[in-house]
């Protein structure tokens, strides 16, 4: 069984105990992610000059779902079953929004009238709306659903559902979180490579971000697959998550600098249509989620009622 606590140095053990449980911290991150996805989608869709009615769906949903999840978190203090139902319905809707958004982006990239084999090419994907972008809604949905249901016993892979029913998963919630961090990094890495391919990978910082992305993708998947990880495996994973945080902050800074005009003057139009400020922060977001997965999975006894 994967027991991360065995490899955390004693002085750091106290930092695993927060006022909230790991699942509550994850749900808070999910709610914040939904809000930022709404903002990011708004900024991305504004580049065309006009937002068509269909493009408002993820924008409105991002803000609405984020507020709903925050409200459900407050409601959980008094009535966790009801809060779980509200949260689950919201998160399922997030998955639907993400899949539909990816479908529309792929359809925008394709050329139905082109000869066979040329209807969807790498070049079309590079210059099309980001295909992997909307899938962030789906990933957040899966992550939130995993956090919403209590696992009892801890690390057993058994989720407690309404009415005393149980759902037995093939692996523990900790492994599920690690695998989802890996999936999120896969989406972030593909999006980064496609976006940076437009500039021809001219900057060494782009290669650095790509290398960190690959590292951040492999580390959680390998750790989740190991039944008996060594201390080196654990510290390698920690290093990968920290690098993702650093890379995300560095990327956002570089994007901001590239959007400045002569004399370091800020022109709002360049920030709206130039290098996206929030895109590199997806690396930092996945790094933070990866670190949250290391928190103590044990909940307070009253929280599982």
**Tell me: the pLDDT tens digits for 66-105?**
999 999 888 877 887 788 888 889 999 999 999 998 888 8
pLDDT at 51: 78
Distance CA 278, CA 269 (A): 15
Q: Which residues contact 222 (CB under 8 A, 6 or more apart)?
A: 233
How many structural domains does the chain have? 1
Domain that holds residue 237: 4-304
pLDDT at 54: 83
Looking from the CA of 254 toward its CB, the CA atoms found within 13 Å total: 15
pLDDT at 305: 45
**Strand, helix or coil for residue 167:** strand
pLDDT at 264: 56
Edge to edge, what strands does the sheet with 166-168 contain?
A: 150-151, 158-160, 166-168
pLDDT at 265: 57
pLDDT at 288: 92
pLDDT at 304: 45
pLDDT tens for residues 283-304?
A: 999 999 998 888 877 765 544 4
Q: Which residues contact 97 (CB under 8 A, 6 or more apart)?
A: 57, 58, 61, 134, 137, 138
pLDDT at 5: 52
- Concatenating the DSSP letter of every residue in 27-87 gives HHHHHHHHHHHHHHHHHHHGGGSS--GGGHHHHHHHHHHHHHHHHHHHHTTT-HHHHHHHH
Backbone angles phi, psi at 261, to 5 degrees: -100, -175
**Strand, helix or coil for residue 179:** helix
Backbone angles phi, psi at 21, to 5 degrees: -75, 170
Distance CA 152, CA 159 (A): 6
Take residue 121 and report the two structure tokens written for it.
């090419």
Show the CA angle centred on residue 48, arms to residues 37 and 276, nearest 5°: 45
pLDDT at 263: 53
Counting as low any pLDDT under 70, the low residues of the chain are: 1-19, 47-50, 111-129, 259-275, 299-305
**Strand, helix or coil for residue 215:** helix
pLDDT at 45: 74
Cite the beta strand spans of 60-209 per DSSP E.
150-151, 158-160, 166-168
pLDDT at 42: 84
Cite the beta strand spans of 81-168 per DSSP E.
150-151, 158-160, 166-168
Helices 173-197, 135-148: axis angle to 10 degrees equals 170
pLDDT at 279: 79
Q: Are 139 and 184 in contact (CB under 8 A)?
A: yes
For tokens 């053990």, what's the residue? 13
């Amino acid at each position: 069984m994967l027991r991360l606590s065995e490899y955390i140095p004693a002085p750091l053990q106290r930092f695993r105990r927060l006022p909230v449980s790991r699942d509550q911290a994850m749900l808070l991150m999910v709610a914040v992610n939904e809000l930022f996805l709404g903002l990011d989608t708004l900024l991305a869709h504004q580049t065309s000059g006009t937002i068509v009615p269909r493009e408002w769906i993820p924008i409105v949903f991002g803000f609405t779902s984020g507020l709903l999840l925050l409200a459900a978190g407050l409601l959980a203090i008094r009535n966790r079953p009801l809060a779980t139902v509200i949260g689950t319905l919201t998160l399922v809707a997030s998955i639907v929004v993400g899949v539909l958004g990816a479908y529309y982006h792929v359809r925008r990239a394709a050329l139905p009238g082109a000869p066979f084999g040329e209807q969807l090419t790498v070049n079309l994907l590079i210059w099309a709306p980001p295909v992997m972008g909307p899938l962030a809604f789906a990933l957040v949905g899966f992550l939130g659903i995993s956090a919403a249901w209590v696992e009892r016993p801890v690390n057993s892979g058994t989720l407690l559902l309404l009415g005393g029913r149980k759902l037995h998963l093939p692996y523990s919630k900790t492994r599920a979180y690690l695998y989802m961090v890996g999936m999120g990094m896969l989406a972030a890495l593909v999006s980064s490579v496609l976006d940076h391919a437009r500039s021809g990978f001219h900057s060494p910082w782009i290669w650095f971000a790509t290398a960190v992305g690959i590292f951040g993708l492999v580390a959680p998947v390998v750790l989740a697959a190991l039944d008996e990880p060594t201390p080196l495996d654990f510290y390698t994973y920690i290093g990968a998550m920290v690098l993702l945080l650093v890379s995300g902050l560095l990327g956002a800074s570089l994007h901001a600098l590239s959007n400045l005009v002569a004399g370091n003057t800020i022109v709002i139009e360049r920030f709206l249509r130039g290098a996206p400020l929030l895109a590199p922060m997806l690396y930092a977001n996945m790094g933070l989620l990866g670190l949250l997965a290391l928190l103590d999975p044990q909940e307070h006894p009253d929280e599982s009622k």
